[in-house]
Amino acid sequence: MKNIFIVGASGLVGSNCQKYFMQHGHTVLGSHFSFPTANTVFFDTLNLDNPDNTNLDIFQPDIIVHCGALTHVDYCEDHVDESYEKTVLSTIHCIALAKKYGAKLVYISTDYVFDGQHGPYQEADAVRPLSIYAKHKLEAEQLVIQASPENLVLRVTNVYGHEERNKNFVSRIVQQCVAGQKLILKLPMDQYATPVNAWDIARAMYALLQDQQAGIFHIASTDVMNRVELALHVLKYFPEAEYELIPMITSELHQAADRPLLGGLLKTKFSALYPKFLFGNVDSFVKECLALNK
């Protein structure tokens, strides 16, 4: 690998990829759209002619990692055009950039491309997206695969980890517990997934890129749990925390978008290639956070 351009590097997955790739000696350019950071430059994938875009002709990327998307699932359900633009159209433009520079494209997708009837899922399982968000993610990943046999799609779900804004579910709970804030959590007990650390996604992506792998890969840890269990895994490390945890079923939450209930991903394909690759889990991440807060 030489020059790596990361779209959405101010977000959770993108920022971890940028940090990991730079640690391994690669030249990395990370971009932001709506949330600038000290380590990113502006790039608008919705308008490649935006005069404020960083000049990729100078950078000449060999690999483009597309981590940007509109991830608010319920918002997407009521804002279909915006969802299409920020997920599908942005991907179409990233495909165009990859073709222009002869770069390999990596796309981050989701287990929401499945209907949640028979999860956790393997790569060859039949897709059936339930929501606008999921349909657009599936359309985008299919376009990436169709564009070049060299491209790579990584499906992930329930991503947590270190990020500047601490937006992810696990980090928010940790942050609130450390700050001594009371938590009120109304969580579905019938939505199952496979939480994964963004740092492990970066590590797995790096291994796949190093070996010039292509196609679709599921990246997941060893945990399979529902949202209530996920919260309790974190809260057990804060015995003094004040919280109210209200288990609910999904239908009681009246969410705008349908969710896959028995979701999650099986990393069988990845593990067959990398049997010695060890993923972290929620417990190891929380312990790491506690060590950093001492």
Q: What is the CATH number of the domain that holds 145?
A: 3.40.50.720
**Torsion angle in degrees (nearest 10) through CA of 106, 111, 114, 115:** -160
Residues 173 and 112 in one domain: no
Residues 11 and 125 in one domain: yes
pLDDT band, residue 293 (cuts 50/70/90) = confident
pLDDT band, residue 34 (cuts 50/70/90) = confident
CB half-sphere exposure, 224, CA atoms < 13 A: 10
Task: Judge whether residue 294 has pLDDT over 80.
Answer: no
pTM of the model: 0.96
Residues 67 and 213 in one domain: yes
Residues 115 and 184 in one domain: no
Residues 120 and 234 in one domain: no
Amino acid 1: pLDDT: 60
Residues 124 and 67 in one domain: yes
Domain limits at 137?
A: 3-160+195-222+265-273
Using one digit for the tens of pLDDT, what is the confidence trace for 131-163? 999 999 999 999 999 999 999 999 999 999 999
Amino acid 33: pLDDT: 93
pLDDT band, residue 167 (cuts 50/70/90) = confident
Q: How many domains does the chain have?
A: 2
Amino acid 73: pLDDT: 96
Residues 77-112: b if buried by 16+ CB within 10 A, e if exposed: beeeeebbbbbbbbbebbbebbeebebbbbbbbbbb
